[in-house]
Amino acid sequence: MNLKKSVKGKNKKQTMLFSMPTPQPAMRLCCPHCGNDRYFLEQAEDVTITTRYLQNPDGSFTAQSDESHIQGEVKLFCGECKADLTNFRDKFIEMLF
Ligand SMILES: [Zn+2]
């Protein structure tokens, strides 16, 4: 019992290391055309960007906020070969942080 107590701290550290989730290679998005798994592009069509401005006493303007509204389709492309990967976009959104 006493021996167990003395190594408790060490055991705790080890458990934390082992409980860390290891990245699964299968979870990675990979371009089926060129094998690229690092660079991706997202392109939105028909985007309306509204920016609010405040005019200062000296006549200059300061942007207050930006609002973007996407009416069209949002597509995902491979950053290397530009292949359309929109079919994989659900997975992309899932892994977007
Ligand atoms: Zn590609």
List the pLDDT tens digit at each of the 97 positions of the chain. 555 554 454 554 555 555 656 555 567 899 999 999 999 999 999 999 999 999 999 999 999 999 999 999 999 999 999 999 999 999 899 888 8
- CB burial of 65-97 (b: ≥16 within 10 Å; e: otherwise) equals eeeeeeeeeeebbbbbeeeebeebbeeeeeeee
Distance 22 CA to ligand 1 centre (A): 26
Beta partners for residue 53, in sequence order: 63
What is the pLDDT at residue 27? 76
| DSSP reduced 3-state for 47 | strand
Answering whether pTM is above 0.85, one says no
Instruction: Give the distance (Å) from ligand 1 centre to CA of residue 92.
Output: 15
Q: How far is the CA of 53 from the centre of ligand 1 (A)?
A: 40
